[in-house]
Structure formats: C-alpha cells, structure tokens
Amino acid sequence: MQRCYTEKGENIMQDIDMKILNLLKKGTTLKELMEKTVMYPSEIAVKLNNLENKGYEIHRLFNENGVKFQLLEQLKPVSYQDNLWIKFGTKMTFLVIADTHFGNADENLELVEQVYQYAIKNDIKYIFHLGDLIEGVSLANSNNDRVIRTNIHDQIDFITKYYPKSDTVNTLYILGNHDYRALKNECIDIAKVITKRRPDMHFLGYQNSKIRLGNRVILLQHPFTIEREEKYDKAINETYDDTRFDLVFRGHTHHNNIYFNSFGSIVVNVPACYTTTIRPYTSAYEATIKDSDTISNVELTNLVLSNFSSSPIPLSVNRYSLKKKL
C-alpha cells in the first residue's frame, strides 16, 4: 500500500490525493480526473505538481486517443551523469563517504558534519557520497525498531533539511539499494526531490557513476546485492568493458580496505558513515591526485570519525604512482 505524508509526518494523506494516486496507478485521463475528483483542470495541475515535488514519477503517455497520466511503479534506476569530467591543474583533493543510512537508529549526523567541517577547513571543494543516503522503507523493515523514520517522506525531509551544506563544498552522490527502495516500493525518485531542494547536492546516478578527474578515470560504485568482491569487480568490467578505472570507490560493503583487483584498478571499500555500540568509530577517505606529464601520484588517507573526537583523525596514508595513459 502506498505510504503517504502530511506536514505532521503521519502516515496519512488527504482523501483527494489518495484518490488521484489510485487513478494514476492504473492510468487515467484529465477528463476522468475531473469527473472523479470534481475539480477544475487548474486545480488538478496543482495536485499533480505537488505529487511530483514529493518525488512521485508521473508520466504523460501520448496516443491516438489523447494523453494518459500514469504513475510508473516499475521504474528502473538510471545513471544521469556517467561521463562527468572535473578538470583541474596539477592537484585535486576530495573526500569520500558512504552509507549514512539516515532513518536508521544508528544514523550519525555529527560524523557527517565532521567531514564537512574538515572540507571547509582544508579548502576541499568536493565530497563524494557512495550511496544509501537513507535507510529506505520496505516490508521487511517497516516494523523494525532499528528504523526510526518509517515514512519515506520523513527520511527525505531529514536529508534535505539537515544534511550538511556549505557555499564552498559540493556533494556529488550516487544512490544505493536502500535509496532505490523508495523508487521500487513507493514510486518516488528521491534524487528528484533532493535536486529541487538542495542545489549543492548533485546526483550522478544509481549504482555507478564514471568520472574523469584530470588524466584519471574513477568509478563510484554501490552494488545492489551482497556478493564476493570478485563479482563486484567483474560487474564493473561487464558494464564498462572499454574502460580501465584507475580508482574504484565502493560503498555498500561497510568494509574498510584497499586492494588491487584483477583488472588493474585500485579498489577502496569505504565504510558506513555511522557508529554503533560495538563499533564506536568509522572512517572516511581523503584522496589527492597530483598530475604531471608522465605520471599521476595518488594519496589515500583514511580519516577516523568518532563521537569522541570533534574532527577527523588521519590514521593511515597509502600512496600509489600511476603511469600516464597513452
């Protein structure tokens, strides 16, 4: 059943909105909407616009009989920015975080705030988020006491209102399997809502996004299933068979490790950005790429995040030299 929302956060919606949603599910015309709701076209236009602003995907289907309005319930995640190119001179530094799961009882906004304050202090312009911004809502977790916001609109509202923001820091993000629950179960594309409300947050796609940084090509990845690392690596090769990535930043696993895969990429598993009683700290990554005519030097610093510290603590540094691509 469609979950709906009011300003009070209750799991209800006006009867007229529910009636419109039910008509949209099966497909409807403007004439039918007017007859069933006893509303003028201008009033219906406002209602449809309000639903779209909440993230519902309403498509206009054109045929010989006119226009049908349809709520798409089987949407597939798509990649919006799969060839982003961020140009820089000889050096660029950025931060990477993953799996904030806002809406889960373990969410930790303070840790994300630490990352943003670190970026501001060190004049870092970009933070990449590897997906699962929110916990999402599903039949499996709707009654789970680990989910503190069981209404998807409440989770989206939390992100757009309280996720850190700065005039100098840009958030570039992909969406993961938990974010996809909103699209799969509720027909809501959270990226549309975030884009409307947060101009500092830039959506790159679901599951993957290919980015060129200077002379280097990196991949942001958030697999949708639980598999062995080798299968995730193989999936990259199958999706991007013409591309060898220098760096792969992977969310979803909640692990914290770096390794070389069989395709020659440096893979960085970035842990979830929240803490638990049995894991009182986590981490983010600071990455610096220095380009020259013949080589790129990559420096990956593991930044420890904890409620016991007011700012990230550099723990370890890994350095790599990559030859210039021909």
Count of beta carbons in the 10 Å neighbourhood of residue 169: 20
269 touches 256 (CB < 8 A): yes
- CA atoms within 13 Å, Cβ hemisphere of 273: 32
Count of beta carbons in the 10 Å neighbourhood of residue 59: 12
Q: Cα–Cα distance between 204 and 191 in angstroms, integer?
A: 9
Count of beta carbons in the 10 Å neighbourhood of residue 60: 9
| Confidence at residue 5, expressed as pLDDT on a 0 to 100 scale | 34
The pair of three-digit structure tokens given for residue 139, joined into one six-digit string: 């039949």
| Confidence at residue 324, expressed as pLDDT on a 0 to 100 scale | 63
Percent of the chain clearing pLDDT 90 (strictly above):
52
CA distance readout (Å), 124 to 44, 167, 215: 45, 12, 19
| Confidence at residue 51, expressed as pLDDT on a 0 to 100 scale | 85
3-state SS class at 205: strand
Where does the pLDDT of residue 73 fall: very low under 50, low under 70, confident under 90, or very high at 90 and above? low
Residue 103 dihedral angles phi and psi, to the nearest 5°? 115, -20
154 touches 12 (CB < 8 A): no
Where does the pLDDT of residue 10 fall: very low under 50, low under 70, confident under 90, or very high at 90 and above? very low
| Confidence at residue 139, expressed as pLDDT on a 0 to 100 scale | 58
How large is the angle between the packed helices 15-26 and 41-53, nearest 10 degrees?
A: 80
Return the biggest CA–CA distance within the chain.
70
Buried b (16+ CB within 10 A) or exposed e, 26-38: eebeeeebeeebe
Q: Which of 30-39, 65-74, 249-258, 299-308 has the lowest mean pLDDT?
A: 65-74
The pair of three-digit structure tokens given for residue 164, joined into one six-digit string: 């850190």
Q: Cα–Cα distance between 140 and 118 in angstroms, integer?
A: 36
Mean pLDDT estimate for the chain: 86
Which CATH architecture is the domain 15-71 placed in? Orthogonal Bundle (1.10)
Delimit the CATH 3.60.21.10 region(s) of the chain.
Answer: 84-323
188: CB partners within 8 A, 6+ apart = 54, 55, 56, 57, 152, 156, 182
- CA atoms within 13 Å, Cβ hemisphere of 317: 7
Please give the CATH superfamily to which domain 84-323 belongs. Metallo-dependent phosphatases (3.60.21.10)
Q: Cα–Cα distance between 21 and 3 in angstroms, integer?
A: 11
Is the whole-model pTM more than 0.85? no
Delimit the CATH 1.10.10.10 region(s) of the chain.
Answer: 15-71
80 touches 203 (CB < 8 A): yes
Q: Cα–Cα distance between 204 and 82 in angstroms, integer?
A: 7
The pair of three-digit structure tokens given for residue 213, joined into one six-digit string: 């940084």
Give me the count of residues in the chain: 326
Strands 295-306 and 281-291: antiparallel
